[in-house]
Amino acid sequence: MSATAEPVQTDTRRTGRLALAAEFWAYFSENRGAVIGLYFFIFICLVAIFAGFLAPHGPDDQFRDALLKPPVFQEGGEWRFLLGTDAVGRDVLSRIIFGSRYSLFVGCVVVSVALVVGILVGLVAGFVGGWVDTLVMRVMDIILAFPSLLLALALVAILGPSLTNAMIAIAIVQQPHYVRLTRAAVLGEKHRDYVTAAKVAGVRPLRLMFVTILPNCLAPLIVQAALSFSNAILDAAALGFLGMGAQPPTPEWGTMLAEAREFILRAWWVVTMPGVAILLTVLAINLMGDGLRDALDPKLKRS
């Protein structure tokens, strides 16, 4: 660290986690879109956390004197309601701010559930092989044979329409991708020398799976996680829109769109605003996902 008079030939590269993180950030920040996406995502997270402070009104407060008020920048708008009000006089902006909580929550839950279960099943399938592997992969094929939204819709119909059930359904629908990725990675790593060495050294199967092999399979899984985070938000909104997700008066963005449908030609803002929120959130996450892929998995790099 101290300045030396003559250059000494030393390896100045830092090692350890910090260095890995620095290297990751160097690759990630090369992609300008990814950084913008990250900042916007952090912004949405902050909005969701501090929704109670940021929102000018409660999500369910009804202002009977201000039904279908247009946004402030349009004639007839009021400063009280920056993005206007809906058919029962609720502030659209406040509902969108509170809605961010639901979307992020859905994304987090779906990705965590799908990731954990997918990794477990994929590890077992890849590691054990034989009929277990065949059975697991056939079941995944069956899930993949149905269009994802249709399957989610059918599952929610069985479980009963609610946000929780929508999350369960979406997690099930996204499962096969994680299972397939984990299994493929495990099959690729299983016969590498370091695994054989660990095996010879007497490492137990469980430790071999989770400590030796798993960390080397994580890169594609993280990229997939980003991708399915945005898909989960889209699917949850679509289910909400079809009346099979969060139920009114929950300020979930897709549900808000469904409620707004009948005013489509009279009050454009009740339809436009929640959709913009969905689009921007999903876009930010996808931008981030592209950056993650470039940084973590040079093989997948689209150059």
Partner 1 sequence: MLRFILVKIGLLIPTFIGVAIAAFGFVRLLPGDPVLLLAGEHGVSPARHAELMHQYGFDRPMWLQFLDFLWHVMQGDLGVSIATKRPVISEFMALFPATLELSICAIIFAVVLGIPAGILAATRRGSWADQTIMGTALVGYSMPIFWWGLLLIILFSGILHWTPVSGRISLMYFFPPVTGFMLIDSLLSGQKGAFESAVSHLILPTVVLGTIPLAVIARQTRSAMLEVLGEDYVRTARAKGLSPVRVVSVHALRNALIPVITTIGLQVGVLMAGAILTETIFSWPGVGKWMVDSIFRRDYPAVQGGLLLIAIIVMVVNLIVDLLYGLVNPRVRHGR
99 vs 274 by CB, closer to partner 1: 274
Q: Quote the least distance from Cβ 145 to partner 1, whole Å.
A: 4
Phi and psi torsions of 227, nearest 5°: -60, -45
Q: Quote the least distance from Cβ 288 to partner 1, whole Å.
A: 11
Say how far apart CA 186 and CA 103 lie, in whole Å: 32
**Cis omega (within 30 of 0) for bond into 70:** no
37 vs 209 by CB, closer to partner 1: 37
Q: Quote the least distance from Cβ 97 to partner 1, whole Å.
A: 18
Q: Quote the least distance from Cβ 196 to partner 1, whole Å.
A: 23
209 vs 278 by CB, closer to partner 1: 278
225 vs 282 by CB, closer to partner 1: 282
DSSP label at residue 84: -
- Degrees to nearest 5, angle at CA 47 with 43 and 52: 165
122 vs 240 by CB, closer to partner 1: 240
Question: Could you give the C-alpha distances from 276 to 45, 106, 250, 289, in angstroms and in order?
Answer: 16, 18, 18, 20
Q: Quote the least distance from Cβ 261 to partner 1, whole Å.
A: 7
Give 153-194 as a DSSP string: HHHHHHH-SSHHHHHHHHHHHHHHHHHHHHHHHHHHHHTSHH
Q: Which residues bind partner 1 (CB under 8 A)?
A: 33, 138-139, 141-142, 144-150, 153-155, 157-158, 160, 230, 234, 237-238, 241-243, 254, 257, 261, 264-265, 268, 271-272, 274-275, 278-279, 282-283, 286-287, 290, 302-303
